[in-house]
Amino acid sequence: MTLAIDVRGLNKHFGDKHVVQDLSLQVRKGEIFGFLGPNGSGKTTSIRMLCGLLTPDSGAGQCLGYDVIRETAAIKRHVGYMTQRFSLWEDLTIRENLDFIARMYGMKRRPQAVNAVLAKLGLEERRNQLAGALSGGWKQRLALAACMMHEPQLLLLDEPTAGVDPRARREFWDEIHKLAAEGISVLVSTHYMDEAERCHKLAYIARGKLLVTGTIKQVIASQQLVAWEVSGDGGLPALAEQLRKLPAVEQVTAFGSRLHVIGAHEAELDAALQPFQQQNGFQWEKIDAGLEDVFISLMERHIRQQEAA
Ligand SMILES: Nc1ncnc2c1ncn2[C@@H]1O[C@H](COP(=O)(O)OP(=O)(O)OP(=O)(O)O)[C@@H](O)[C@H]1O
């Protein structure tokens, strides 16, 4: 089995709302697969269908070789799911939290399982600290430990680092990479671009529709965006306002004393920008479009297409 997740045409409605539309997704064993998209685009719903907590209205496929419709109990036994708003018992220590979870799941050889996961996630030294007294990063690590006690081969992590500081997020991701190197597959949703860049592959979903999948290079190349960077000491806000009015310009974003100007068609964009490039006081440089530019462009194009339909 080389695919940890292999689903095709999954659909889910809530009432008359088509929340996930024809989702097809393949995640290889040992791969870290990033799942991105705006709020409410259907990421959590997709994850819940993959781990057997929600039944798709239609579609088929397998998770760890088990059928996503008929073998949900087996999927739950082999998948670790970290929910967006995980809960810990704040007045229990790290070790007590893990032991409590092991009891809830009726695990055999509980002390061994708790000790193993404490060691695996570097929590041994802190095992007697109260969960409520931990920083956001350590709480996140404890939540990861909790969903790994039954030694899952696939982790489904729903925004595991939301609200955690950059250093703790980086350490959390070091941990994810270690697990992937051991053969554990990871599907992780995130809104952070630095995290997206740490994935082997990405998928971007908007309004329930998967718009692109692939490696970062493939995703960026797929949109063929053209990007210019403008820098200058003054006048950038006024320039940005003028540039936004140009039909050839899709996005204008300020980064300190620089603007990124993005378009879809190189010749059109270059021609439209030429008069502005004659003005004094600004330096223009062609740059590569980034992942965030691509995602924003994908989402805006999708919304325009839907509104035109
Ligand atoms: N149980 C439910 N009943 C009705 N509507 C729901 C239910 N769960 C989710 N939805 C709706 O489905 C849509 C997709 O929600 P979902 O939580 O899957 O998105 P998401 O991409 O995970 O968002 P976020 O990034 O904010 O977590 C939203 O419009 C949400 O309000």
Q: How many A from CA of 255 to the centre of ligand 1?
A: 31
User: Which pLDDT belongs to residue 280?
Assistant: 84
Question: Per DSSP, what are the bridge partners of residue 32?
Answer: 186
Q: What is the per-residue pLDDT across 26-43, written as a single tens digit (0 to 9) for each?
A: 999 999 999 999 999 999
Whether 234 is in the pocket of ligand 1, judged by its Cβ within 6 Å, is no
The residue contributing the CA closest to ligand 1 atom 12 is: 19
Pairing of the two strands 185-189 and 32-36: parallel
Mean pLDDT over 83-107 rounds to: 90
Mean pLDDT over 114-128 rounds to: 94
pLDDT tier at 307, thresholds 50, 70, 90: confident
User: Which pLDDT belongs to residue 304?
Assistant: 85
Q: How many A from CA of 141 to the centre of ligand 1?
A: 25
Whether 42 is in the pocket of ligand 1, judged by its Cβ within 6 Å, is yes
User: Which pLDDT belongs to residue 233?
Assistant: 79
Mean pLDDT over 220-227 rounds to: 94
Residue to substitute in 21, 43, 45 for testing ligand 1 pocket (most ligand atoms within 8 angstroms of CB) = 45
Mean pLDDT over 250-258 rounds to: 92
Average pLDDT in the chain: 93
ipTM for the predicted complex comes to 0.95
Sequence spans of domains, the chain: 3-217, 220-308
Asked if the model's pLDDT at residue 1 lies above 70, the reply is: no
| CATH number, span 220-308 | 3.30.70.920
Q: What is the per-residue pLDDT across 134-193, written as a single tens digit (0 to 9) for each?
A: 988 899 999 999 999 999 999 999 999 988 889 989 999 999 999 999 999 999 999 999
Specify the CATH class of 3-217 in words. Answer: alpha beta
Residue to substitute in 12, 13, 14, 191 for testing ligand 1 pocket (most ligand atoms within 8 angstroms of CB) = 14
Whether 45 is in the pocket of ligand 1, judged by its Cβ within 6 Å, is yes
